[in-house]
């Protein structure tokens, strides 16, 4: 054999086999031998490509290779953690307090035909609900920026019911007695009000054009619970 019959650019089974068949000195070799050499060359080429890819962060394809390359630049990927979030539950105003919501009922549900993952979001602990109200003078309703000073910290989207001891403030739309509104968090001591949860999330709040007189009372009608995307196991026995 005068030299290597394989071209440097031939790295696949078909290109290597074509090089072998094109070499007259290999014409008498059996087909199984030609296929074996072509397959071996294809496998080695694949392994070489994989090794080269693993040496670069952009093309690395195994977790360990990525971790090793990141370590070289003093970056350490954080471990995977379970997805979590907050679920908001609306409370019936006539509920007898305190009331405990069981863990089995503290789970997220998707509306309509929205696709959901196999592992649902659910709480790990029951939620005990107590009555929560606060009274504040109308003088805390600010016409300039539509803020209301509160003692509790409210979450955006939380439902509140208003009751009044005198004249409600003039607003657009009019704030009504014993009507449910939705809080928009401004800071730890201030909120704005929206006419719907969708408006609260969008930041569309009621325009307060006058303060009114007397006091107003907020009754909180929503509670939040931390939920995790998990599968609950009723019982698990360790060992035998």
One digit per residue, the tens of pLDDT, for the chain of length 240 reads 457 888 888 889 999 999 999 998 888 999 999 999 999 999 999 999 999 999 999 999 998 999 999 999 999 878 777 788 888 999 888 888 899 999 888 888 776 666 766 778 889 899 999 988 888 877 788 888 899 888 889 999 999 988 877 666 665 455 777 788 999 999 999 999 999 999 999 999 998 887 777 788 888 999 989 998 887 777 666 665
89 and 117 fall within a common domain: yes
109 and 127 fall within a common domain: yes
- Per the CB < 8 A criterion, the answer to whether 5 and 26 are in contact is yes
Q: Determine the pLDDT at residue 1.
A: 46
200 and 115 fall within a common domain: yes
131 and 216 fall within a common domain: yes
Containing structural domain, residue 156 = 81-230
H-state helical runs in the chain:
13-22, 31-54, 63-72, 197-202
- Per the CB < 8 A criterion, the answer to whether 34 and 15 are in contact is no
Identify whether 2 is part of a domain. Answer: no
> Angle of helix 13-22 relative to helix 31-54, nearest 10 degrees?
140
Tell whether pTM > 0.75.
no
Q: Report the number of distinct structural domains present in the chain.
A: 2
Identify whether 8 is part of a domain. Answer: no
Rounded Cα gap, residues 68 and 66, in angstroms: 5
Rounded Cα gap, residues 203 and 205, in angstroms: 6
104 and 183 fall within a common domain: yes
113 and 223 fall within a common domain: yes
200 and 166 fall within a common domain: yes
115 and 206 fall within a common domain: yes
For 20-157, strand residue ranges (E) read 84-90, 99-101, 121-122, 127-129, 133-137, 148-149
């Amino acid at each position: 054999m005068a030299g290597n019959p394989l071209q440097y650019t031939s790295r696949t089974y078909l290109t290597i086999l074509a090089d072998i068949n094109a070499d007259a000195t290999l014409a008498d070799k059996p087909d199984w031998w030609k296929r074996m050499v072509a397959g071996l060359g294809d496998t080695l080429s694949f392994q070489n490509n994989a090794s080269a890819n693993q040496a670069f962060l952009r093309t690395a394809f195994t977790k360990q290779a990525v971790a090793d390359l990141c370590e070289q630049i003093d970056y350490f990927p954080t471990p995977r953690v379970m997805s979590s979030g907050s679920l908001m539950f609306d409370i019936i105003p006539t509920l007898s307090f305190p009331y405990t919501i069981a863990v089995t009922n503290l789970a997220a549900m998707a509306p309509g035909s929205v696709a959901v993952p196999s592992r649902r979001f659910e709480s790990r602990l029951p939620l005990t609900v107590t009555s929560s109200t606060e009274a504040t003078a109308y003088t805390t309703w600010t016409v300039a920026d539509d803020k209301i000073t509160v003692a509790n910290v409210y979450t955006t989207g939380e439902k509140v019911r208003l009751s009044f001891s005198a004249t409600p403030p003039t607003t657009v739309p009019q704030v009504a007695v014993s009507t449910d509104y939705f809080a928009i968090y401004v800071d730890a001591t201030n909120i704005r009000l929206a006419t719907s949860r969708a408006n609260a999330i969008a930041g569309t709040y009621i325009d307060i054009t006058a303060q009114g007189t007397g006091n107003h009372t907020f009754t909180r009608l929503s509670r939040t619970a931390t939920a995790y995307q998990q599968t609950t196991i009723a019982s698990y026995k360790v060992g035998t």
